[in-house]
A and B are shown apart, each in its own frame.
Chain A
Amino acid sequence: MFDTLSDRLGKVFDGLRGRGALTDSDVVEALREVRVALLEADVALPVAKDFIERVRVKAVGQDVVRSVTPGQQVVKIVHDELVETLGRDPAPLNVDHAPPAIIMMVGLQGSGKTTTTAKIAKRLQDRQKKKVLMASLDTRRPAAMEQLKILGEQVSVATLPIIEGQNPVSIAARAIEAARLGGFDVLILDTAGRTHVDEALMHEVGEIYNAASPSETLLVVDSLTGQDAVNVAQSFGGRLDISGVVLTRIDGDGRGGAALSMRAVTGKPIKLLGVGEKMDALEDFHPERIAGRILGMGDVVSLVEKAADTIDQAQAEKIAKKMRKGEFDLDDLAEQLRQMKRMGGIQGLMGMLPGMGKMGKQIQHANIDEDVFKHQEAIISSMTKKERRDPKLLNASRKRRVAAGSGTAVPEINKLLKMHRQMADMMKKVGKGGMKQMFGDPGAQLDEMPAGELPSAAPGLPGQPPGMGAGVPPGMGLPGLGMPGMPGPRGGSKKKRKK
């Protein structure tokens, strides 16, 4: 997500930054390119025009041109306006309503309403300890109700029993009654997908809305949507009092246009992002952070949160303790590999590190696939406990056995052992090193760090010695979460990092 836009803008801004002095016409020229970049990213035309105009008003003029770093100033203005366009403050779901608080999901067919319904239910149940009931009002798509029922079983959330032949409004009434009687805190109504020009169905959704008077009415929008996003938003918004937007498929390589347009067109906040097919792949929307990602500034805050979310604290502390003592064995390495996988793999991590977006792509091009991690795990699992604790035991014949057991080859095992050695050394050195040391205060990151500037501690990526033990800093501020060394770049992408 946002890669294409990020790349295009990066080029424009590199051009601006490279120069000492800027004239107004330089800025105007750059903004023309920004405009094309926005349109190619599917940002709605009126939103793109308005955005450019706002930036132009602020960027053209004495202050910017006379400043010491005019290019940087322009980037800052763009960043600020992006945040403004995206909505500035995060808007959490409002379910603090006399129970049952009702959330109604609406949107076009195939935008991801049902999946999102289950994800929201799971999140409310897990994080806010709410008792949630889900009801499908989709009487049109074959097996839609069945789908929600199955998802409910998967996430252990109750669903309204299906009664054939009821119309959506009656189902809604039955659901509200059931939620009330059952003592549910939250009721989520999943409606049928509908085209906003379908008069009859839009009338129906209006009736459901009136009957349920939901405290949240969420418009679910596919982030791959093109210019039509505006029409969808306006017509649903015209019919119902939408309280917020959920953008789905953010994990696709859509270009973020819908994200930028939605707030501006609906005037309602984007509340949540669907970021994958798994039931916990739902994130809060933070305008500031997304703006950072678009401008290639990374999103360290989300990274840390994600880490905190995924990591088994006890396990992490155990590893940290061992690390300080300089005992980092292959079991610990295997644990780290698993943790990294849970965090979304290398590319997931890269996208969130400042200046690393481009690296993520290099990794892709360098053909370093995440399968390598699977192989590494397999290698470690093929070792005996003793070997894992003391890798030095691995002589040639043991290595051959491990290779056969894991379906790999001896050189791969050597590589892994070398990587482990480097990591162990590194960890001994870093010891208690934390996030502060590596990144500075993460909270201040986005404000203070101009786009494209790599923090001094930015980890080396391909180009470093094979194995790259020192890779992304071990510990990453959180005990135990080191990124295991990456395999040497197969495609030999030795690209210089810009400073």
Chain B
Amino acid sequence: MSEDKTDRKGFFARLTQGLTKSTTRVSDGISGIFTKAKLDENTLQDLEDLLITSDLGAETAAEVTTALAKDRFDKEVTAADVKTALAEIVATKLEPIAKPLVLDADAKPHVILMVGVNGTGKTTTIGKLAHQFKTDGKRVVLAAGDTFRAAAVEQLKIWGTRTGCDVIAGDVGADAAGLAYDALAKAKADNADVLLIDTAGRLQNRRELMDELAKIVRVIKKLDPAAPHSVLLVLDATTGQNALGQADAFTEIAGVTGLVMTKLDGTARGGILVALAARTGLPIHAIGIGEAIDDLRPFAADEFAKALVGAQMS
């Protein structure tokens, strides 16, 4: 698509570009609040509200403002001070979970299972991940495990062509677990380095669908007890507090090992990550900032935090 035309900007520039739109509001908000200069109860309440509008959630927002108020309450503060302080607090919370996805070199293949609710961007993320692994010289196989949604298989096949990866697909309506099993057998036979398995989107409160996911994991283990080596939960940045429930449910059923957050190129701020960090401690491996093939970036805590509160722009 258009990735060739886009300048190869650094990570921070790209992220900022994506997040700038999202941050303007928080940033403006903070600047707006702090024309008052003194950090008092009302100001804190306003600040807490602002964080809530970034999807941090009521609890996390309260935590962050409390931390902010600790040494500064009733003191004169500037907007810049508050932004920096806020970014630091957020970054501290995110730092422990900013871990790139590392492939197990001994695993042949390293099996990655993509899970999540409908429409978060699992298939697109697989395409982007496949591109990255391929660029690193890995032998990559894709499995079209979404046998439910119309044309999901075709969609993955197109990504296979774009990235030059083999795609293993079955019939629509076929048993996804069976397909995953076949794909792993094939990937093993082909001596592949990475197998990326797509799954149908499912709401985490639909028990029968979650059972089906559990079955996929179970079946994969028959061929390789260590697999899936990574189970990535794909979260849509626009999702609100429901993401917490998604993380819990998918971890329980499929043993999520890490997160990918997509659609950070909109106005959604992904503040839910801060709440998730505290609650689950799951590492966040990558973020999606566009539809192009290279629009997947590693997650960097302090840069994300700065971008989130708008600290780099004053």
Q: Tell me, in angstroms, the Cα distance from A111 to B155 when the chains sit together.
A: 17
A 252-282 binary contact with B (CB < 8 Å = 1; else 0): 1111011000000000000000000100000
Within 8 A of A (CB), among B258-274: 263, 265-269, 272
Within 8 A of A (CB), among B154-207: 154-155, 157-159, 172, 203-207
Q: Are B240 and A232 in contact (CB under 8 A)?
A: no
- Which residues of the partner chain A approach B243 to less than 8 Å between Cβ atoms? 226
Q: Tell me, in angstroms, the Cα distance from A42 to B57 when the chains sit together.
A: 8
Q: Are B52 and A227 in contact (CB under 8 A)?
A: yes
Interface residue from A154, A224, A226, A235 paired with B150 (Cβ < 8 Å): A154
Residue of B nearest to A37 (CB): B58
Q: Is A45's beta carbon under 8 Å from chain B? A: yes
**Closest-CB distance, B130 to chain A (whole angstroms):** 13
Within 8 A of B (CB), among A397-411: none
Q: Are B121 and A109 in contact (CB under 8 A)?
A: yes
Q: Is A112's beta carbon under 8 Å from chain B? A: yes
**Closest-CB distance, B262 to chain A (whole angstroms):** 8
A 222-236 binary contact with B (CB < 8 Å = 1; else 0): 101111111110010
Q: Are A225 and B21 in contact (CB under 8 A)?
A: no
Q: Is B226's beta carbon under 8 Å from chain A? A: no
Q: Are A142 and B240 in contact (CB under 8 A)?
A: no
Residue of B nearest to A197 (CB): B21
Q: Are A228 and B55 in contact (CB under 8 A)?
A: yes
Q: Tell me, in angstroms, the Cα distance from A110 to B124 when the chains sit together.
A: 11
- Which residues of the partner chain B approach A39 to less than 8 Å between Cβ atoms? 52, 58
**Closest-CB distance, B28 to chain A (whole angstroms):** 13
Q: Are A45 and B267 in contact (CB under 8 A)?
A: no
Q: Is B118's beta carbon under 8 Å from chain A? A: yes
Residue of A nearest to B154 (CB): A143
Q: Tell me, in angstroms, the Cα distance from A142 to B172 when the chains sit together.
A: 17
Q: Tell me, in angstroms, the Cα distance from A109 to B243 when the chains sit together.
A: 17
Residue of B nearest to A118 (CB): B150
- Which residues of the partner chain B approach A258 to less than 8 Å between Cβ atoms? 240
**Closest-CB distance, B204 to chain A (whole angstroms):** 7
- Which residues of the partner chain B approach A148 to less than 8 Å between Cβ atoms? 150
A 20-48 binary contact with B (CB < 8 Å = 1; else 0): 00000000000000001001111011000
Q: Is B148's beta carbon under 8 Å from chain A? A: yes
**Closest-CB distance, A193 to chain B (whole angstroms):** 9
Interface residue from B58, B118, B158, B265 paired with A195 (Cβ < 8 Å): B265
Q: Is B100's beta carbon under 8 Å from chain A? A: no
Q: Are B53 and A227 in contact (CB under 8 A)?
A: yes
A222-B119, A222-B238, A226-B238 as given contacts; A197 in contact with B267, CB under 8 Å: yes
Q: Tell me, in angstroms, the Cα distance from A275 to B252 when the chains sit together.
A: 24
Q: Tell me, in angstroms, the Cα distance from A228 to B208 when the chains sit together.
A: 30
B 260-293 binary contact with A (CB < 8 Å = 1; else 0): 0001011111001000000000000000000100
Interface residue from A144, A198, A249 paired with B117 (Cβ < 8 Å): A249
**Closest-CB distance, B253 to chain A (whole angstroms):** 15
**Closest-CB distance, A148 to chain B (whole angstroms):** 8
Q: Tell me, in angstroms, the Cα distance from A322 to B172 when the chains sit together.
A: 42
Residue of A nearest to B205 (CB): A253
Within 8 A of A (CB), among B22-80: 25, 49, 52-55, 57-58
Q: Are A110 and B263 in contact (CB under 8 A)?
A: yes
Q: Tell me, in angstroms, the Cα distance from A40 to B267 when the chains sit together.
A: 20
Q: Is A284's beta carbon under 8 Å from chain B? A: no
Q: Is A241's beta carbon under 8 Å from chain B? A: no
Q: Tell me, in angstroms, the Cα distance from A142 to B155 when the chains sit together.
A: 5
Q: Are A252 and B266 in contact (CB under 8 A)?
A: no
- Which residues of the partner chain B approach A226 to less than 8 Å between Cβ atoms? 55, 238-243, 268, 272
Interface residue from B57, B159, B205, B208 paired with A40 (Cβ < 8 Å): B57
Q: Are A36 and B267 in contact (CB under 8 A)?
A: no
Q: Is B120's beta carbon under 8 Å from chain A? A: yes
Q: Tell me, in angstroms, the Cα distance from A4 to B54 when the chains sit together.
A: 20
Q: Are A255 and B53 in contact (CB under 8 A)?
A: no
Interface residue from B58, B118, B242 paired with A112 (Cβ < 8 Å): B118
Q: Are A255 and B242 in contact (CB under 8 A)?
A: yes
Q: Is B223's beta carbon under 8 Å from chain A? A: no
A42-B240, A42-B241, A108-B238 as given contacts; A227 in contact with B266, CB under 8 Å: no
Interface residues on A, range: 35 or more
Q: Are B121 and A110 in contact (CB under 8 A)?
A: yes
Q: Are B266 and A196 in contact (CB under 8 A)?
A: yes
Task: Tell me the dominant secondary structure on chain A's binding face.
Answer: loop
A112-B118, A226-B55 as given contacts; A144 in contact with B272, CB under 8 Å: no
- Which residues of the partner chain B approach A147 to less than 8 Å between Cβ atoms? 149-152, 154-155
Q: Tell me, in angstroms, the Cα distance from A386 to B196 when the chains sit together.
A: 53
Q: Is B225's beta carbon under 8 Å from chain A? A: no
Q: Tell me, in angstroms, the Cα distance from A42 to B1 when the chains sit together.
A: 35
Q: Are A110 and B155 in contact (CB under 8 A)?
A: no
Residue of A nearest to B291 (CB): A140
**Closest-CB distance, B210 to chain A (whole angstroms):** 12
Q: Tell me, in angstroms, the Cα distance from A225 to B121 when the chains sit together.
A: 15
Q: Tell me, in angstroms, the Cα distance from A230 to B117 when the chains sit together.
A: 22
Which of A44, A143, A147, A232 lies at the interface centre, i.e. has the most chain B CB atoms within 10 A of its CB?
A143
**Closest-CB distance, A359 to chain B (whole angstroms):** 16
Q: Is A80's beta carbon under 8 Å from chain B? A: no
Q: Are B239 and A225 in contact (CB under 8 A)?
A: yes
Q: Tell me, in angstroms, the Cα distance from A42 to B243 when the chains sit together.
A: 11
Q: Is A141's beta carbon under 8 Å from chain B? A: yes
Q: Tell me, in angstroms, the Cα distance from A225 to B117 when the chains sit together.
A: 12
Within 8 A of B (CB), among A349-375: 369-370
Q: Are B55 and A227 in contact (CB under 8 A)?
A: yes
**Closest-CB distance, B18 to chain A (whole angstroms):** 9
A150-B150, A252-B242, A253-B205 as given contacts; A228 in contact with B268, CB under 8 Å: yes
Q: Are B52 and A228 in contact (CB under 8 A)?
A: no
Q: Tell me, in angstroms, the Cα distance from A41 to B245 when the chains sit together.
A: 12
Q: Is A146's beta carbon under 8 Å from chain B? A: yes
- Which residues of the partner chain B approach A229 to less than 8 Å between Cβ atoms? 238, 240
Interface residue from B55, B204, B268 paired with A253 (Cβ < 8 Å): B204
Interface residue from A197, A230, A249 paired with B265 (Cβ < 8 Å): A197
B 198-224 binary contact with A (CB < 8 Å = 1; else 0): 000001111110000000000000000
Interface residue from A151, A197, A277 paired with B148 (Cβ < 8 Å): A277
- Which residues of the partner chain B approach A197 to less than 8 Å between Cβ atoms? 21, 265-267
A146-B154, A249-B117 as given contacts; A224 in contact with B239, CB under 8 Å: yes
**Closest-CB distance, A112 to chain B (whole angstroms):** 6
Residue of B nearest to A36 (CB): B58
- Which residues of the partner chain B approach A254 to less than 8 Å between Cβ atoms? 240, 242
Interface residue from A109, A227, A230, A369 paired with B119 (Cβ < 8 Å): A109
Interface residue from A230, A255, A370 paired with B241 (Cβ < 8 Å): A255
Q: Are B154 and A196 in contact (CB under 8 A)?
A: no
Q: Are B203 and A252 in contact (CB under 8 A)?
A: yes
Q: A146-B151, A150-B172 are in contact. List 10 more A-B contacts (CB 8 A).
A: A110-B263, A143-B152, A147-B152, A222-B236, A226-B243, A226-B268, A228-B55, A231-B25, A277-B118, A370-B208
Instruction: List 5 A-B pairs, minimum CB-CB distance, nearest first.
Output: A226-B240, A110-B119, A147-B151, A42-B240, A142-B158
In the assembled complex, 5 residue pairs joining A and B whose CB atoms fall closer than 8 Å, in A order, are: A109-B121, A141-B124, A151-B150, A195-B267, A231-B266
